[in-house]
């Protein structure tokens, strides 16, 4: 069994925030016919409290973290790019830090989706930037990435 969890914040207010790109991928996966051994979830809590939910999901499905894929925004990666890496996430991400603390490990699959499109001359602080909505041009790029990730996650 494989557990795929998209991080984000709950509620309509955050729906198109950069921080919610994990939820956007889950929405895309839920529209597909998935293998029976794939479970897809959103945490349902605010990003920075994700750890306890992930721990409960792993326990509920009796999984090891080798079968956990966490989808999240990443300011270390440019908009329109992504990486799927085991045990490697961004330099600082409070939602992931919550998961690391709850699991006692970073050694799960990180689906790192680039959301950084800031002007190098006018860099908004990351914690403010990720709570902004994507503009339409950015959303178009993100939707292409989401489609690629959905295809890839189903086949891994």
**Mind telling me the catalytic residues?**
19
Q: Could you tell me if 112 and 72 are in contact, meaning their C-beta atoms sit under 8 angstroms apart? A: yes
| 3-class DSSP assignment, residue 116 | strand
CA distance 149 to 111: 8
Q: State in Å, rounded, how far the first CA of the chain is from the last one.
A: 11
CA distance 138 to 140: 5
Count of all residues that appear for the chain in the document: 156
Task: Name residues whose C-beta falls within 8 Å of residue 5's C-beta, 6 or more positions apart in sequence.
Answer: 22, 26, 40, 41, 42, 43, 50, 53, 54, 57, 68, 69, 70, 71
């Amino acid at each position: 069994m494989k557990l795929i969890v998209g991080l984000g914040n709950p509620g309509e207010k955050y729906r198109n925030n950069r921080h919610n790109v994990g939820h956007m991928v889950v929405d895309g996966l839920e529209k597909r016919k998935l293998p029976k051994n794939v479970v897809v979830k959103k945490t349902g809590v605010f990003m920075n409290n994700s750890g306890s939910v992930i721990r409960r999901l792993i326990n509920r499905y009796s999984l090891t973290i080798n079968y956990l894929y966490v989808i999240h925004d990443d300011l270390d990666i440019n908009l329109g790019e992504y990486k799927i890496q085991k045990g490697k996430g961004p330099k600082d991400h409070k939602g992931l830090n919550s998961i690391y603390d709850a699991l006692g490990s970073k050694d799960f699959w990180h689906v790192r989706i680039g959301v950084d499109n800031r002007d190098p001359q006018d860099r908004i602080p990351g914690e403010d930037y990720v709570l902004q909505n994507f503009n339409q041009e950015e959303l178009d790029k993100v939707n292409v990435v989401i489609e690629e990730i959905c295809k890839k996650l189903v086949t891994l």
